[in-house]
Amino acid sequence: MTMDTPPPAGEPDDSTSAGTIGDSGYTLEDLSDYSDRGREPAIPAIDDNAECQSVLASIERVGALSRDLVAKEATDHPALDESWFGSLFAAISSEAKAGRDIPLSSPDPRTRLSITEGAVRELVRAAGDGVDGALVGRCQLHGDLDGAGSGIRVELSISVLLGAPVHEVAALVRQRVYSELLAHTELAVEAVDVTVADVHVIPNPQGGTE
Amino acid sequence: MSDDELAILIETAVRGVDGVATVYSALPPLARSARQLTAGTATLPLVALARKGGLLTVTVNVGVSAPQAPATASAAAIAVRTVLDAAGIPDAEVAIRVSRVHD
C-alpha cells in the first residue's frame, strides 16, 4: 500500500523544510537531528522556543510511524513516494509558525490574553493524531481569527489506517478537534471539515501488515 | 530592582500557576541571541519587559496543560499582577500569550 497523494504543504509560508522554523534560525533538519540525539546536549534556543517545540513534538509523534512505513514500503513497494512524509513535515513546519494572536477575553483592560494561531493549529493536529487509525496531513483555519467570538472553519486532511472504519475515524477526529477548540479557545467553530485523503498501513512485528 | 531581576521574579511566579506547563521565550530569537552575546554565560529571562513613555509592558509566553487555556492564561496574568503590585508597578500592561497547549 502506498501513500501516493502527498498532502499539500499548506499556505505559502517562509517556514518550510527549506527554511527555518519561524525565525528561530533552526531548520526542520536541525530539529530532526536534535530529536534523534535525544535533545542532548540541550540547546536553550530550541528548548525555549515554542515554535521549535511544536515541531519537535510533531516529529516525535509521527516519526516512529514514518520510519516504520518507509522501511516497510522500501522492502515491499519500492515505488513508495517518500515525499509524502517530506510534505507532511513541511506542512507541520509551516503550521508551527506562531502567526496571529487570537484574543482571549480579559476583564482587565490593562491585560491582554491570547493564544497563538500556531498553538491552535498544533492543538488541532494533536487532537486528530490522537485518534486511533488517523494521521493528520494538513490543517487549515479559515475565518476571522482576530476577533474573539468570530466564526471559523477548520479544514483537515487525514490519512486513515487501512481497514479502519473510515466514517467512524473521521467522525471521531471531528469530535475531538471540536472539543479541544471549545476547551482552549473562545473561537466560534462553525465547522470542522475532515477529508480522508489517504490510507496507510502499519507493519506488525511478524512481518505482515495491520 | 533591575528589569532582569523583575523578569525572573515574574517567570518564577508564572511557573507556579496551576496549568502552566512551561514558559517560552517572549523575545524574538534574533533579539535574544543579541542579548545573549552581551550577557555571556548568564541565563537570560524568558519574560520580555519593554518600556515606552514610562509605561512598562510585560509579555509572557506560556505553554499550558490545564483543561482550559483561557482560565490558565487568566491565572497567569493574576500572578504577574501580584509581582508587579509588590514591585510598585501596578499600572504596567500585561500580555499573556498561550504559545502551546501540551498533551
What DSSP line would sit under B28-93, residue for residue?
-HHHHHHHHHHHTTSPPPSSEEEEETTEEEEEEEEEE-SS-HHHHHHHHHHHHHHHHHHTT-TT-E
The pLDDT value recorded for residue A17 is 40
Q: Rounded distance, CA B94 to CA A187, Å?
A: 22
CB atoms B101 and A108 under 8 Å: no
Q: Rounded distance, CA B47 to CA A84, Å?
A: 38
Confidence check: pLDDT of A85 > 90: no
Q: Of B43, B101, B30, which is closest to residue B68 (Cα–Cα)? A: B101
Neighbouring CB atoms inside 10 A of B8's CB total 16
DSSP three-state, residue B50? strand
A190 contacts A152 by C-beta, under 8 angstroms: yes
pTM of the entire predicted model: 0.82
The pLDDT value recorded for residue B56 is 96
Give the least confident one: A86-90, A127-131, B24-28.
A86-90
Confidence check: pLDDT of A127 > 90: yes
Q: What is the pLDDT of residues A94-120, one digit of tens each?
A: 777 778 899 999 999 999 999 999 999
Q: What is the pLDDT of residues B17-71, one digit of tens each?
A: 999 999 999 987 777 777 777 777 667 889 999 999 889 999 999 999 978 999 9
Confidence check: pLDDT of A2 > 60: no
The alpha-carbon gap from B53 to the nearest alpha carbon of chain A, in Å, equals 16
Beta bridge pairs of residue A7: none
For chain A, give the number of residues: 210
What is the ipTM for the molecules in this complex? 0.93
Enter the C-alpha cell of residue A134.
Answer: 488517523
Q: Which of A49, A112, A119 sits opposite B25 (nearest CB)?
A: A49
Cα Rg of chain B (Å, integer): 13
Encoded amino acid at A171, one letter: A
Domains and CATH numbers, chain A: 7-97 (no CATH), 98-210 (3.30.70.1350)
Enter the C-alpha cell of residue A202.
Answer: 502499519
B39 contacts B53 by C-beta, under 8 angstroms: no
Q: What is the pLDDT of residues B79-92, one digit of tens each?
A: 999 999 999 999 99
The alpha-carbon gap from A7 to the nearest alpha carbon of chain B, in Å, equals 24
User: Is B3-101 a domain of CATH 3.90.25.10?
Assistant: no
**Mean of pLDDT over chain A:** 78
Q: What is the pLDDT of residues A56-74, one digit of tens each?
A: 988 887 766 666 555 555 5
Beta bridge pairs of residue A188: A151
User: In chain A, which residues touch B (CB < 8 A)?
Assistant: 22-25, 45, 48-51, 53-54, 57, 98, 101, 104-106, 108, 110-116, 118-119, 122-123, 126, 130, 180, 183-186
Encoded amino acid at A120, one letter: V
Q: Rounded distance, CA A88 to CA A16, Å?
A: 11
Q: Measured between beta carbons, which residues in chain A are less than 8 angstroms from residue B70?
A: 104-105, 113, 115, 184-186
CB atoms B69 and A114 under 8 Å: no
Confidence check: pLDDT of A79 > 70: no
Q: Which of A25, A114, A119 sits opposite B101 (nearest CB)?
A: A119
Q: Rounded distance, CA B94 to CA A108, Å?
A: 10
